[in-house]
Amino acid sequence: MTPAEQSLKAAEICRLAPVVPVLVINDLAHAAPLARALVAGGLPALEVTLRTACALDAIRAMSEVPGGVVGAGTLLTAADVKAAKAAGAKFGVSAGATDRIIAACEDEGLPLLPGAATASEIMALFEKGYTVQKFFPAEQAGGAAYLKSIGAPLPQVMFCPTGGISLKIAPDYLALKTILCVGGSWVAPSDALANGEWATVTALALEASRLKRA
């Protein structure tokens, strides 16, 4: 899968909803009901971060939930890419981008949302054929105002900003024409997961799914 093909698929996934939940799952028992709650609320694209021991098993469990499109976040190595694809991930997300990560995703046929934070990084990925990128860490790197500025000289690149984004400020990003969606963890608060409050998660997802895009 070429970078151009990866970006086409990444754009398709990003357009499924205005918000992609960024999920840290510590208890495998939470995986399936969490996926069902988010999909029921209108957020089908789900990013499971590979930060916990059960992350790959969570991807497997969530991939079986009807309507969900599950991806793996925090890809750091080629081994992560292979493991994520084997677990059922339909897309991958990285905080940055290295030649090995890019090559591994091409070899595995895993659509990649590569991370960038500066104009040079964005341009380097664009030269490789990546027209859809993750902007990370969004708020810390300059926020919506920064992306608005970048959008003028680089209108060919579309973004999924992630990092520090909340329901309150998500509209600032989504108002920009270069934003396909935003990544956020607020739709799956840790206390709701711990208490099995899936109706709360669905309500938060529904609220997020109704955010307007440019």
Bridge partner residues of 158 (DSSP)? 132
Catalytic residue among 9, 85, 90, 134: 134
Contact assessment for residue 165 and residue 183, using Cβ atoms and an 8 Å cutoff? yes
Q: Is 134 a catalytic residue?
A: yes
Active site residue 9: no
Q: Which position among 47, 85, 90, 108 bears the catalytic label?
A: 47
Rounded (10°) angle between helices 55-63 and 31-40: 50
Under DSSP, the state recorded for 91 is: E
Contacts of residue 1, defined as CB under 8 A and 6 or more positions apart, other chains included, come to: 9, 105, 106, 109, 110, 111
Query: For tokens 């030269």, what's the residue?
Result: 127
Catalytic residue list: 47, 134
